[in-house]
Amino acid sequence: MIPIVNAIIYILLAPIIGGLVAGIDRKVTARMQGRVGPPLLQPFYDVGKLFEKETVVVTISQNFHVLSYLVFMAVSGALFFSGGDFLLVIFAFTLSHIFLVLGAYSSYSPYSHVGAERELIQIIAYEPMIILTAVGMYLVTQSFNISDIIASSVPVIMYLPGVFVGYLMVLTIKLRKSPFDLSTSHHAHQEIVKGVTTDFSGPNLAKIEIAHWYEYVVLLGVVYLFFGFNPIIAIAAIIIAYFLEIVIDNTFSRAKWQMTLKTAWLIAGAIGIVNLATLYYLRGGVWL
C-alpha cells in the first residue's frame, strides 16, 4: 500500500509544492533584477483567475490535448514517487509533452506552430540525456526501479558526477530557463507571444501551468536520486541546483535552437557517456 499512498500524496501535494517553487523563482528573480517582485503565492492567484475565465478554444481537440498533458504529467510523477520503473516514468513524461505539442499544432496560429516545433526540438535535445541518467543509475544500483535506487546505500553522485552535470544542463531546458527557453517562457517578455501556449487561455492555460508544477517536482526528484544516500544532503543539493538554474536564467540571453542541440548532445551527452565509460574502465569492466 505504501507505493499507492506515495502516489496519492504526490498527486495532492505536488501542485502546492510546484506552485511555491514557481513563486520563490519569481521572487528570487525579481531580487536579482533589483525589484520587489510579486507575492510568493502569486502563481496560485494567477491560476485561480484563469479558472474563473470562460473556456475559449480554437479547436475542440485542444481540450483533450491539454487534459492529456496534465494527466500524463501527473501519472509520470505518481510512478516516480511510488517507486516505479524509471524508464516507464520517462515514457509517460515524454508522452505528456507530445500531447502539448499536438495541442499547439491543432491551432491555426503560426506562432503556435513555431512554438510546437521548438518544443519538439527541446524534446529531441534533452531526451537522450534523461535516458542516459536512467541508464547510469541502473549501472550503479543494478535496478531501474526508483525505490531500489533510493534504498541503495551507494552514493550515486560519486560514480556519476558527469551524468549529474549533464542532467543539470538539460534541466535548464526542461525548466524553460534562458538560454534555452525556446518554445515558451514564464517571464514577462513573452506575455504577448507565448510560443507553444499562444492559443491556450482560461482554464486550459491554468491546467498547463499546473502540469508545469507537477513537472518541477519530478525534475527535482531526479536530483534527489543522485544524493539519496543522505536525505539532508539531497535536499540541500536540490536547493542549490534550482538556485543555480535561476542564476543562469538571469545571466544568459536566449540561444538559437542549433546551440540547444549542440549543448545537449555534444556537451551534456559527451560528459555523461565519458563518465560511464570511465567508470566501466576503472572497475575493470565490472559494475557494482
Is 145 contained in some domain?
yes
What is the rounded CA–CA span in Å between residue 49 and residue 20? 17
DSSP 171-201: HHHHTT-TTS--S--SSGGGSSS-GGGTT--
Is 26 contained in some domain?
yes
DSSP 127-184: HHHHHHHHHHHHHHHS--BHHHHHH--S-HHHH-HHHHHHHHHHHHHHTT-TTS--S-
Domain count of the chain? 1
Is 288 contained in some domain?
no
Is 163 contained in some domain?
yes
Is 74 contained in some domain?
yes
12 confidence band (pLDDT: 50, 70, 90)? very high
- pTM, full prediction: 0.90
Is 89 contained in some domain?
yes
Is 126 contained in some domain?
yes
pLDDT in tens, 73-101: 999 999 999 999 999 999 999 999 999 99
Using alpha carbons, select from 135, 142, 158 the residue that is nearest to residue 86: 135
pLDDT value at position 284?
Answer: 61
pLDDT value at position 187?
Answer: 58
pLDDT exceeding 90 applies to what percent of the chain? Answer: 52
Is 287 contained in some domain?
no
Calculate the average pLDDT of the chain. Answer: 88
Domain membership of residue 172 as a residue range: 2-282
Q: Is residue 13 pLDDT above 80, yes or no?
A: yes
Q: Is residue 288 pLDDT above 70, yes or no?
A: no
